[in-house]
Structure 1
Amino acid sequence: MRRMHYTLKFNPRIIQDLKDEDDLDNVVSHSDDFANVYIVESPLGPPPTFPSSNASCDASPNTMMLSRGFASRCADSEYTPLELNRFREAILGSRHTFKNADEFWNAIYQMSLAGRFQYKYKKNSLTHMSVKCSIQGCPWKIIAHAVEGNEILRVYTYQVNHNHIAQDECSSKVRVSSKRGDVVVEDMFRTIQEYIPRQICKDFERDHGVQLTYNQAWHLKEKAKERLYGSPRASYVFLPWLCHRLREINPETIVEYTSHEGHFKQLFIAHAFSIQGFTMGCRLVLAIDSCHLNGSYKGALLFAIAYDADNGMFPLAMGVVGSENYEDWYWFLEKLKGILDGQEVIIISDRHQGILRSVLELFGVENYAYCYRLVKENFSSFFNRQNIRGKKRKEDALLLLDNIAYARLDIDYNEAFEKLVRFNADLARWVAENSPEHWAMSKFLKKRWDKMKTNIAESFNACLREERHQTIYTLLLMHMDKLITMLDTHMRGTDKWKSVVGPKTEEKLMSNIMRFAPITVMPYLGGTFKVFTGEVYLVMDMQQHKCTCLTWKMSRLPCPHQVKTEESYEESWAKLRIQLPRVNPDCKEKKQRESAIKPILDDSRSQQSNASNGARFGVETKKLQPLQASHSKVLRNQPFVARISQHFCTPGEDSLVLRKYFAALLGVCEISQTPLFSCEMAPEASRSLLPTLGDIFH
């Protein structure tokens, strides 16, 4: 009689019956067009029943049981785990050879687990092995000898039938071997990296009827990892070779390490594709964070994460050090500064003393921003120590702190701070004493792209949750594989963009477009506009990409005032901007701005802005051709982006010009839409930067 079985992708350890169409639908729907199907031929007639090792036995002592000792002794279950079938065939019969004694010992242990019996060695040497069942009188026996004096062992006697009485069958328990048990879980580690000790305990009890302690399962896990990835101590021996290979396959990769008296001390690594991607299109903001390594020699993992053109995670550099003290942080940040090629960046991190001191010395106090989430947590802890009762009161205090942190203008900051003073003077004093110039938007003088937290670095930390348990050699390889996979996924994701900007950026742009009413705009010369929001007057300089609300400066996205200005006066401003240099070639842009009439503000909200975003990134603005008469007419009913294209585009050039427009608007390279693989002219060159394991081990 033949029966069909199958295994599911998410649980390959269990064999399922394949009986009808419903089972076939499960195979197709849960296996991603690929499944393992097994055909088993079983004898006719009712199979003999045997009690499992964890069942009670009331059978007569004279009842004899003759079996091969495998699936018949499985735990009470509807399905047979695949491991039992594989372990049953660990030794196929006479003439089976093993390359050394260690493999033979492992095979014997696997067979005992599958059959749930104990065994003992009568002879146990590298040249002669004789093992039998521990039950007195049982004929189970395997004998193997070395072949021609070398390490290879060959089985000569293969008797695998058991003859037990029921009492012996129930009392026989498999021993847990700390030396051999790692073989059982090794294959699971190849497919499931997060195979935790508690799951090992459950699987051993379910499949083999063996109850492990958490400590035993943890040791089995560590031994299995060592079998797969090598010993932690030996991994440091290969570290210099790996660093050399990384530099060799991609010369622009920066890999440096230090040692003290022959012992590893510090490691810094920044892959060439990460450095190039950061230079091409990432925001000039870095989130700095760290985590502890859980391997045999501990240590700490330091990393710097950038933001790509769509505010996604872009790992730039990583370091492995002995601790998180000032010396290690200074060394890591010094190497990090060396790969920035002189670019001024904003560092966002927590207030760890090692980071604080190092950043202030290397990047300057004005370029250091505190993570607002941690500031808020400290504020919450301080609130709990005050004699203020009520959950609602705490929510109100945290909301007031948010208003202080996210206020863009000093007048809004002062207003929110005064509210906090009236709410509780001690809380306001805490805010004033905890350096708001490093975390409040209106007080931070440099451009931080609206980045307030280090969540992106913590997300990277979560991605390396399993790698932190590996050896340093395996850690570097797994990190590089995961990094390349992530960047390749981002690169392919850009093909699905519906606009010239990423989905996250587009969502913010559309939000600003929908929020511009009611706003009154009054034009001034030189591309300058006076905007009245209903509460205050603001100045919009279209040429300099500046608005005194500071949203454009801080986020590098058009604010609602800029959107309204484009909506109302894009035709006249565009004509002046493009046609004036053609009419009078001697008219320079600087002279035009100097002769412009500036609006007079009636409030204190006007602040000095940084240089235009295009100048900051070194993007050369291409001169546009004069507008053609047939394209100068504005149709007010057309979408916002379509009306922009009429001023800047000739037929067939809409996509290219809009791409340049948004590039200048958002502050990225005009041909770069993703941080790494954005250049349309050389996609294959970008892909060629990705090394493979074959390149490393060439």
Structure 2
Amino acid sequence: MGKVLAICQMGGEFVQNKDGTLTYSGGEAHAVDIERDMALDELRNEISGMFNCNMEAYSIKYFLPNNKKTAITVSNDKDLKRMVDFHVNSDTTDIYIMKKAENRVIRSVVADSDTTTDMTTTTLATVDGSSKRRRVSVDWANLITGVGQVFESPKAFRDTLHKYAVANKFTYKFVKNDTTRVTAECTAEDCPWRIHASKSPAKKEFMIKKMSDEHTCGKEMKRGHRLASQRWVASVIKEKLRDSPNYKPKDIATDLEKEYGLSLNYSQAWRGKFIAKKELYNSLEEASGQLPWFISRIHETNPGSIATMDAPEGSKCRFFVAFRASLEGFEHGCRPLLFLDAITSKSTRHWRLLVATAVDGEGEIFPVAFAVVENDSLENWRWFLEQLKSTLSSSRAITFVCNGQNGLLEEIPLVFDEYGYPGYCVNQLIEDFTAQLDEEWTQEVKNDMVDHLRHAIYALKAEEFNQCLDNIKAQSEEVYQWLMETKPERWSDAYFKGLRYGQYSSNAVEIFTDWVSTRYELSVVQMVDLVRCKIMEMMYTRREISNGWTDLLTPSANRKVQEHMNRARTLDVVCSAGDVFEVRDDSVNNVVNVETWECSCRRWQVDGLPCMHALAVFERTDRGVYDYCSKYFTAECYRLAYSSSINPIPDVGQPIACSSELIHSSVTPPTRTRRMAGRPKEKPADPRISIKRSNRCSKCKVYGHNKATCKMPAQMDI
């Protein structure tokens, strides 16, 4: 078991040397033993006792061996284990407790006069020969160190690149920008600077793979840098605005001029402050006002529903909702299968939706619970899973399928114990796998590799799976090792421990994104109630449709059984003792056990519907086909999923007609928060002008009309 002796240091500052390395100076130090299996919360508690501080306001950082230029942040248990692994052969290791709002770095520069200057101050020569002192963000200028630097996520890399570009006075554009890779290049003409980052082979961190050495454009930045958007200004001043609520726009513009050399006008500074204030205070005001009232209204109008709010220190509130109709529908009518997704909408940039959706008998999503959070961090996901666990009444084992981001797959068994089986979303796995393929390979080779992966996913037996993996290994040992590290028992039918019933991915992201996409920015109450209305309409529509079904199975399940039945009629069945039969399929003997609902081909066990071998036995022995189908595919079970209704909350908004029944919508159109692009249609009236000036006719000299409308007859010239 790995163990290191860590020297915890706090209260000092980093000093940057000429070669770019960092040295920690000053502060207080204590020693602590860190074992590999220690949880991050345990370490935080111990440090909190040492220094008598609240660790919520601090972050833990360390240096990699032989790299004193970039401080690595420990943000979860896996980061802590990785730190121990890096230093397990060292006598001691240094960790630094840094305040999140500061993270200050000082560079020591030795001049001719043997004086030392602060890293944030440089002297610039002006045209007239005088010197002008301006603060520049040198720490931002060194945020990106080069190839091999790792980041927690693509978003963290993009944020760092943004600051790096501002500090280094150049603009860039994205060539590729998605969840697995980001490529950017300088916008200056003929400048070859380019940077590319993607997932590391171990699929644990976002890493810079390629980066040009230097710019040829001179990195000349205009005084009004286009990267200095309103949101960037808000992100820069947010912490200062928290401490100084009366921070004036003119002071903001002055400080940005001094610190970054940017010349912003009053209007730009004011809008940046407006956005920062909104991000800082709106959620708190809503949490203390609207949300508690809304929670009580949910409980009153929908008894048995769960609605809870949590406001962690130093972050926005978290709001969890699970309506009684959804919980009962999942319990009685849906498979024990939940898909976990995080949804971001352009109209709700400050919030993310964490959703848990089930699947009904038709393979369509069934929303069970959702939460509104600040971000989809592991901490927020853990809180969401804990709320979900306390909400579900039965103790049946549940399979969870997600995209594997932020360590969520490891978190599921910790929260649900033996009742939770983690699964990797197949679509996400294929996308991540494709990103690992060598860019120099031909498209034909890449397609073959993806085909091998697909066959491995749907392989029902171990020998089929191993054959597919051997084909991948023959092409690339590195890709094969990456695939094995994703743990095949989380995605291959040959080894999967839970039950997916043939459902490998979900379209919940597209549906929820469509639900909450509006031209207006929604508050938490508006977003939650908009989702409530959509679910209410969906449940009503599907309930009405299912009332017209006459078959025992749902239409999609019935079609699948009929397709298998057509093939089953060509198979030979050999009767054996009791409920065990032998079915010959293309010279392959398959054993069917009717009593245990099993076939040696394993299709029956995986899908929940009889395979063609089992159907051949039923045809031979005159057994009822529908008696051996999973109940989750029956029309009766489908109707149970939608038998309950979500009740309206009429006093939240105005009523609107929804489908065939009247549903009270809770979404009142909010006030537009952003100025629309282009010139205003009409010039705003000046409130200082209260009296309009009357027209004076040039013909009769009377006020109230003009020459064109004058009724006085024209005089004849004499």
TM-score normalised to structure 1 length: 0.50
Q: Indicate the structure (1 or 2) with the bigger Cα radius of gyration.
A: 1
Bigger relative contact order, structure 1 or 2 (CA pairs below 8 A, ≥6 apart): 1
TM-score normalised to structure 2 length: 0.48
From the two aligned structures, give the one with the greater strand fraction.
Answer: 2
From the two aligned structures, give the one with the greater helix fraction.
Answer: 1
